[in-house]
Every structure is written in C-alpha cells, then in structure tokens.
Amino acid sequence: MRVLVTGATGFVGRHLCPTLLEGGHEVVAATRNDTPVGLAAGVAHVAVGELTPGTYWRSALEGIDAIVHLAARTHVMHETATNPEMAYRRINVEATRRLANEAAVLGIKRLVMMSSVKVNGESTAGAPFSAADAPAPEDAYGRTKRDAEIELARATEGTSTQAVVLRSPLVYGAGVKGNFLTLMEAVAAGRTLPLGSIDNSRSLLYAGNLASALRTALEHPDAAGQTYLVRDGEDLSTAGLVRRIAAALGVKPRLLPVPAGLLRVAGKLTGKGPAIARLTGSLRVDDAPIRAELGWRPPFTVDQGLELTAAWFKSRSAGDDQEPEGHDAA
C-alpha cells in the first residue's frame, strides 16, 4: 500500500516508517515543511503545513491507500498555552476530524489512529484496562484522545474507510523523552531512588513493538473498526523497571526502600502528587484481543527493548537530540 504517516519524524514515527518499508509499503510522510528533520531513508514526504483544523489534505492524499495518524499534541512539560484544554482539542480532536472526513470523502481504505491508555484512565486497582471499559480520562490529553476516537468513528461510519484505533501505555525506545528519559538518566548517574518498596504493576510498550502492532492494524482485514490496547507482554513494578534499566545500562541499581504511602504524602507536600501517583500506582492493559483476533505477537521482549533503548542512550550525541519536526505521539 501507499501509506501516509502523520508525525513521521516524531518518536513513534521514526520507529514505524522503517517497519512499514520492511513490509513492502510505500511510505509518504506528511510534514510541516519541505525540509523535515529526522525522516527515515526511503520515505517520501509532502508538506502540509501546521496540523490544524484547517489543514488542506487533498493533494497529500492523492494516490494514498491508507493513513497512520500519529501526530498529536502530547504531554507538555512546561505549559504556555492560555487555554491548554483548547490547545489539545484543536490538534487532537478538530484536526483529526478534518483528516478523517477528508479520508472518508476520498475513499481511503484504512485509517489507523494512535491513541492512549489515558482514554481509559490513570490507574488500575484490579482487572487491567480493556477497550470494552467505559472511558474515564482524567486530563486534557486523555479527554481529547477519547473525543478524537469518537470523531474518527463518526467520520468513517457508513463509508468505505475502515478505522482502527490503538491505545498504548508508556512507550519507550530510542529517542524517548520525558519521564522515562529522566529515569534513565538518574539510574545511569547512580542516584539513589526511594522506590525500593514499590510493589505495583505497570504495562509498558517498546516502540519497536508498537510499530509492529501499527503495521498489523494497517494490514490485517479483521482489524477494521476495532480498538486495541497493546503492551510488551510483561508488566513490571517501578522498582523492577529500575533494576531492568540498570541491567541494560550495565550499572548497579540504587534503590532505597521508602513506603509508598510516605512517598505519596511527600508528593502532595511538594506539588508532585500526580508524578508520585504514577510511580507508585498500577496501570495494566489487556492486550489479549489483538493477540487472539489479529495473531499479533510483540517481536521484542522487555529486556530486548530496554537493551536497545540503553544502547541508544549511551551512544547519544548532540546531533541525536535534535527536536523532531512536527507533532509527536507517545
């Protein structure tokens, strides 16, 4: 197929495009300008400008068979928007609606959209999250991803365009940023982390496994109209993750056994409650449907994914840390 990828130069896109090329697809990246940074070799590109509710897609979609929509406004560490909710909605909901409507009018065969487990919620106390659960997003990103899923379904209902949605937990791999990179830096520096007593359970997803799942969602006939949650297949505690990262980096983990309750109190006092909640709480996803219905299996184990991420981390240079062009997905 000839596949248009939005967010192709972002974190997930840099893993997905080579995977699609390996599958024999022709890949076209929808980019902000004519000189994109970080585009994989063999990927063509077409400039569509900023991702907005008014983006003109017609020329970019000419001759395209399918779309993988990765571009989104993701987590903003230092928010500057006067109305953050509206900023998320403008890109994640309204721009997605525009793309989905155009795809349906032009008869694009399939549109795969990258979503997030945040549509389900922030934590699990018992059973893992599944696509059948009622959505319960708790932040602007999760709410707008939920609404984007709704708009995608509305735009494609009764048309020849088949919509597929994948929701992921935390994604890691070469090029990862945010909290995962911060944790890797702390472990690599030999800092003592007060996480030794954390006995939670969290699903993770290596970017190479996500790329494989996206390709399966693009290709498999039974994926049409479905929503799938994806994970590596092995859930880890926060303390266990630190130990695995340390092993991948070839360093000794330094963990101090501080009770989770004490950490949560400290989080409230320091204004870091949400971050501490993620470190101490559980979040598991059920990926049984994508395995049973599409026959998907993650090509990388957790340890393999962490080893590849650690190899990238140790080999970084100034050039490797260039900010990717366009919006990212994670």
| CATH code for position 151 | 3.40.50.720
Name the β-bridge partners of 205.
171
Question: Does the residue 78 lie in any domain?
Answer: yes
Backbone phi and psi for residue 67, each to the nearest 5 degrees, phi listed first: -130, 140
pLDDT for 271: 86
Question: Does the residue 23 lie in any domain?
Answer: yes
Q: Span 17-24, mean pLDDT?
A: 97
Question: Does the residue 31 lie in any domain?
Answer: yes
pLDDT reading at 329 higher than 80: no
57 within 8 A of 111, measured Cβ to Cβ? no
CB contact set of 49 (below 8 Å; sequence gap of 6+) = 32, 33, 55, 56
Q: Span 124-146, mean pLDDT?
A: 95
pLDDT for 78: 59
Q: Span 35-55, mean pLDDT?
A: 92
This prediction's pTM: 0.92
Q: Of these residues, 88, 141, 206, 228, which one is catalytic? A: 141
Question: Domain tally for the chain?
Answer: 1
Name the β-bridge partners of 69.
6, 113
Question: Does the residue 174 lie in any domain?
Answer: no
CA proximity to 311, closest of 168, 188, 171: 188
Helix pair 178-188, 238-249: axis angle to 10 deg: 60
pLDDT for 97: 97
Please give the Cα distance from 178 to 275 (Å, whole number). Answer: 12
pLDDT for 330: 31
Q: Band of the pLDDT at 322, cuts 50, 70, 90?
A: very low
Q: How distant, in Å, are the alpha carbons of 131, 196, 255, 263, 269 from that of 259? A: 33, 8, 12, 7, 16
Question: Does the residue 151 lie in any domain?
Answer: yes
Of 72-76, 83-87, 103-107, 110-114, which gets the smallest average pLDDT? Answer: 72-76
56 is catalytic: no
Please give the Cα distance from 58 to 254 (Å, whole number). Answer: 54
Question: Does the residue 226 lie in any domain?
Answer: yes
Question: Does the residue 260 lie in any domain?
Answer: no
Residue 263, CA atoms < 13 Å, CB-side half-sphere: 19
Q: What is the domain range of residue 221?
A: 2-169+206-231+286-294
**pLDDT for 106-127, tens place per residue?**
999 999 999 999 999 999 998 9
Structure tokens that stand for 176 in this block: 């990862």
Question: Does the residue 35 lie in any domain?
Answer: yes
Q: Span 155-169, mean pLDDT?
A: 97
